[in-house]
């Protein structure tokens, strides 16, 4: 599509070939250019960078819940880290308030990444706008969501959009 084609080289120049590849695979897996799946892909890649981990080396505990749209973060986390439901290296915490946050474990080292509130507010406003202006599931709705996903992918740098804290949570997969 034209909107996608116009951003190929600018995105690669700004964020690198690896992010481009990961988010393309995420979008294929997720079945559309979703904002939270893109954020999950950026989050997982950022965690790998901070922890010096390769693909398939991390274990992940997500706090994004299991209800869209926030749970879409989990698809991006799986593709970007290689921690999948199938290999048992990712778990999704049962939480009352899902939040785009995850703990990443690399051996004895662990960090917590969370989407900064100003970015979450922007996403939520855009989704609310889409729901209020278009019937959910229509071509117009998905086109608007796609445009917001492309904008976030292109404009938001993974080094800037997350808080990163060291954590010592030893309870990787317990509730």
Is residue 172, in this structure, part of any structural domain at all? no
Residue 42 and residue 69 in contact, taking contact as beta carbons nearer than 8 Å: no
According to DSSP, the residues that pair with 114 across neighbouring strands are: 101, 163
Residues 6+ apart with CB under 8 A from 77: 40, 41, 43, 44, 60, 62, 83, 90, 102
For residue 173, the model assigns a pLDDT of 46
For residue 1, the model assigns a pLDDT of 75
Number of domains within the chain: 1
How far apart, in Å, are the Cα atoms of 70 and each of 4, 9, 40, 127?
23, 28, 10, 11
For residue 169, the model assigns a pLDDT of 56
Please give the residue range of the domain that contains residue 146: 2-166
For residue 167, the model assigns a pLDDT of 83
CATH classification of the domain holding 18 = 3.30.1330.130
For residue 137, the model assigns a pLDDT of 86
Is residue 75, in this structure, part of any structural domain at all? yes
Phi, psi for 109 (deg, rounded to 5): -95, 140
Is residue 173, in this structure, part of any structural domain at all? no
Is residue 171, in this structure, part of any structural domain at all? no
For residue 98, the model assigns a pLDDT of 97
The pLDDT averaged over each successive group of 10 residues in the chain (175 residues) is: 88 98 96 95 98 97 96 98 97 96 96 98 96 92 94 97 84 47
Is residue 175, in this structure, part of any structural domain at all? no
């Amino acid at each position: 599509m034209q909107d996608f084609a116009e951003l190929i080289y600018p995105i690669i120049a700004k964020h690198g070939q690896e992010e481009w590849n990961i988010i393309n695979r995420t979008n294929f897996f997720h079945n559309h250019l979703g904002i939270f799946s893109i954020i999950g892909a950026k989050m997982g890649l950022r965690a790998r960078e901070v922890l010096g981990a390769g693909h398939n080396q991390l274990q992940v505990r997500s706090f994004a819940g299991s209800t869209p749209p926030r749970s879409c973060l989990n698809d991006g986390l799986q593709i970007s880290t290689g921690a999948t439901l199938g290999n048992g290296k990712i778990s999704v915490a049962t939480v009352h308030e899902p939040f785009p946050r995850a703990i990443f474990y690399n051996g004895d080292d662990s960090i917590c990444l969370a989407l900064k509130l100003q970015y979450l507010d922007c996403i939520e406003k855009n989704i609310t706008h889409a729901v209020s202006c278009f019937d959910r599931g229509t071509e117009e709705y998905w086109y608007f969501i796609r445009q917001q996903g492309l904008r976030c992918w292109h404009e938001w740098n993974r080094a800037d959009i997350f808080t990163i804290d060291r954590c010592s949570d030893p309870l990787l997969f317990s509730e």
